[in-house]
Amino acid sequence: MASSGNVESPPQLLTFDGILSDFDGTIVDSTDAIVKHWHKIGAELGVDPKTILATSHGRRSIDTLQLYDPKKATWEYVSYIEGRIPKEYGSDAVEIPGARALLAALEESGATWGVVTSGTRALIDGWLSVLNLTHPEFLVVAEDVELGKPDPRCYLLGRKKLGLEHSSSLVVLEDAPSGIKAGKAAGFTVIALTTTHTLEQLQAAGADVIVEDLRSISIKSVSNGRVELEIRNAFQ
């Protein structure tokens, strides 16, 4: 979704203690599935799905439901409806370009990494299974935090799970302004993807580096626990 005519910078190497990645829009593109899901939920709630979709991306479902039907804003209900998505709309999702290769490289290299998502565990486990993607050892899901993005505590919890409580040398991979703001508020470097938002929106949210998708990010090396990333074709 990047604007045309933007100059791309030469390759750069960046080194971090750990990597934390968002999931939906960063690793998996489930837009079509999510649209169908919220149309179904909107019909059940008697709410125009376009109204829900205008604010739902990058936001926890429990926070979205709180706006329209607080009685249904429970983890039991949210896990149930999100768990249905990969089962009912599995053919409507694909991995973000470069995601499969990057996740495999992270696992094979021994890099310290994890996923921090606004989705529930049922949703993430479902998509990873349906798409047969590498499952992260460290995972922060919607149920794990009191407040969702742009609040930074999800990424701070991610850092803790990685065993890097005293490090500020972490990089966050994100696609949504709310997630970028959460990563920056946590004190981390943020690499944003133009997979769901425009270059201008990602710049306004404060992203440090912006690329088209995960094909621009690769593992150069892992030494003494630190991972060196090569970033190609970043927008200037």
- Catalytic site positions: 22, 24
Cα–Cα dist 56/78, whole Å: 14
Q: How far apart are CA 222 and CA 209, in angstroms?
A: 21
Give the integer Cα–Cα distance in Å for 98 and 9: 19
| Paired residues of 14 in beta bridges | 229
DSSP for 147-159, written as a single string: S-TTSTHHHHHHH
Q: Are strands 28-29 and 18-21 parallel, antiparallel or unpaired?
A: unpaired
Burial class (CB in 10 A: 0-12, 13-18, 19+), 174: buried
Peptide bond into 152 cis (omega under 30): no
Q: Which of 191, 194, 164, 204 is nearest to 13 (CA)?
A: 191
Tokens, residue 44: 């059940």
